[in-house]
Structure 1
Amino acid sequence: MSTILVVGASGTVGSELSRLLASAGHTVRKATSRAPTEPDQVHLNLLTGDGIDAAFKGVDRAFFLAPPGHSRQDLLLNPLVDAAAARGLHKVVLMSAMGANADEAAPLRLAERHLEASGLAYNIIRPNWFMQNFNSFWLHGILSQGQILLPVGQAKGSFIDARDIAAVAAALLVSDRFNGQDFDLTGPEALDHQQVAAVLTQASGKDIGYTDISPEQMREGLLAAGLPADYAEFLLLILGYFKAGYAERRTDAVQLITGQAPRSVAQYAADYKAAWV
């Protein structure tokens, strides 16, 4: 069994990944930006680098992601890759985002390239938009107005359940079968937000719709919620890619790696229905 560092262990993917790895018998070191409250947690500040030595002590495999709210993800991730290489880790799995490799100058792509050149055994996973956004980031509009409020028109997305992302990461971390490969991760179907709203309505019993708002309205809401201006612009940029149709593509990567079909939006909605009532 391995000792595995999970960066972002308190987040949507990281918490489920930590659970899966621990249930399989591995020792999980949960890196968190907050003050540790459990013996398996370690403080790691990606902005300052504080805690890197403690986080990597005795670790032989690691999972990296960049926390939300920061647009220069390479500046946060590259020091982690360097630390892993310096310590000769057996494997690193980096979570990026679908479409990151479309622009070689994009910060996430720079981080991917840094890992590829590190000499480490690695995998890169690029998930599409999370289903869990509907019970977290987009939840306020649903609860306050009964609407998913996004500037994406009628474009479709092959949304993926974060639990499936975690299952893929868990499989890749403990296997060398796919070393050196990158994977775009999607759900089994492509739906537009009106269709998603209908699924959420059926699951929750609450009347939920979708309103296509302007990018200016979205920017105003993001800034009012306290997001940094540069990160708000980053979100508007990738939402623009969604509207242009780049999130519709589907892959079989989840099935290939885990042996299980990815969850549908209907399955997700049934499991999370309490969030919208």
Structure 2
Amino acid sequence: MDHILVIGETGNIGFPLIEILSKNKDIKIKVGVRNISSDVQKQFQNINNLSFVKFDFIDSATFPEAFSNVNKVFFVRPPQLSNPKEDMFPFLSYAKQQKIQQIVFVSLIGDERNPVTPHHKIEKRILQLEIPYTFIRPSFFMQNLSTTHLEDIRKHLNLFIPAGHAKTNFIDTRDIGEVAAVCLTDPKYLNQELELTDPEALTYDEIAKDMSHILGVRISYSKPSLLKFRRVMIKRGIPKDYVNVMVMSLQKCV
């Protein structure tokens, strides 16, 4: 029986992953959260084979209980943790000490060629430690259109994205969660690096046209510079490190 520690459980990927894994009676799921609140527990009240444990990447005192009886780990890097050497490497070293059989890490598409991103550094460290792994490298999240870019769509009927005329490939985070579930249960994906994309890539002009048709109002697409986009996002309160990762990803489009 597999005992899987899932970190990033309330996100767009972690929650559907847990829903899928919970249907397998041969899997026990341990959910690592910083705060085991009633709201978090309520979110998973209809899911079986599940337990909660306090976990914090930057608090090593939470590691022993979180890793107890665990043989596999799934995690997504929290956007606010941007210095892997300080806030992620101790966690990975502990996983190595516990002889974890597999780590499934959600990275970024093309990240193996971009050494500046935290994801690249985390991947490299996992390889250095020789921890059995699966790297999932998805393209842009479809949900970005309903979260990160929602304010511009609602207030300005505009997609404010510095992607020029390049085509972007979106993927639903629920599909990423489904892929992660397969990787955690099928040994053929061990020590594999998987790029996830949708079959079709679209320009943001095409996306704006489709959104206009669906919403019944005209959605425009502006093309700000990367610098202007970064400045506006930070001014809106989005964490600087998260914005920097967004900009590095968008640089591939322009």
Paired residue for 1:159? Answer: 170
Q: Where do residues 69-218 of structure 1 align in structure 2 (5 Å cutoff)? A: 69-73=80-84, 75-104=86-115, 106-218=117-229
Question: Match of 1:147, as an amino acid?
Answer: N
Partner secondary structure for residue 242 of structure 1: coil
Question: Match of 1:182, as an amino acid?
Answer: E
Question: Match of 1:218, as an amino acid?
Answer: F
Q: What is the count of residue pairs matched by the alignment?
A: 243
- Tell me, yes or no, if the aligned pair for 2:82 and 2:118 is still in contact at 8 Å: yes
Question: Match of 1:187, as an amino acid?
Answer: D
* Runs ≥4 residues deviating over 4 A: none
Distance (whole Å) between structure 1 residues aligned to residue 152 and residue 29 of structure 2: 36
Paired residue for 2:29? Answer: 28
What TM-score do you get using the length of structure 1 for normalisation?
0.80
Q: CA deviation at 1:77?
A: 3.1
- Tell me, yes or no, if the aligned pair for 2:5 and 2:31 is still in contact at 8 Å: yes
What TM-score do you get using the length of structure 2 for normalisation?
0.87
- Tell me, yes or no, if the aligned pair for 2:5 and 2:29 is still in contact at 8 Å: yes
Distance (whole Å) between structure 1 residues aligned to residue 169 and residue 180 of structure 2: 19
Distance (whole Å) between structure 1 residues aligned to residue 135 and residue 77 of structure 2: 13
Q: CA deviation at 1:115?
A: 1.2
Paired residue for 2:14? Answer: 14
Determine what percentage of the aligned residue pairs are the same residue.
Answer: 28
Q: Where do residues 51-70 of structure 1 align in structure 2 (5 Å cutoff)? A: 51-70=62-81
Partner secondary structure for residue 237 of structure 1: helix
Distance (whole Å) between structure 2 residues aligned to residue 98 and residue 168 of structure 1: 15
Partner secondary structure for residue 69 of structure 2: coil
Distance (whole Å) between structure 2 residues aligned to residue 116 and residue 6 of structure 1: 20
Q: CA deviation at 1:230?
A: 4.2
Distance (whole Å) between structure 2 residues aligned to residue 204 and residue 40 of structure 1: 41
Structure 2 gaps of 5+ residues are: 42-49
Distance (whole Å) between structure 1 residues aligned to residue 163 and residue 144 of structure 2: 14
Q: CA deviation at 1:241?
A: 2.0
Q: CA deviation at 1:136?
A: 0.8
- Tell me, yes or no, if the aligned pair for 2:58 and 2:88 is still in contact at 8 Å: no
Q: CA deviation at 1:112?
A: 0.7
Change (3 A) 1:229 1:142: same
Distance (whole Å) between structure 2 residues aligned to residue 34 and residue 225 of structure 1: 26
Change (3 A) 1:237 1:18: same
Change (3 A) 1:50 1:241: farther
Question: 1:214-240, CA deviations, whole angstroms, 9 ceiling, x for partnerless residues?
Answer: 233312321222234344333223222
Q: CA deviation at 1:6?
A: 0.9
Measured on the aligned residues, the alpha-carbon RMSD in Å equals 2.1
Paired residue for 2:45? Answer: none
Q: CA deviation at 1:132?
A: 0.6
Distance (whole Å) between structure 1 residues aligned to residue 203 and residue 64 of structure 2: 45
Distance (whole Å) between structure 1 residues aligned to residue 86 and residue 138 of structure 2: 21
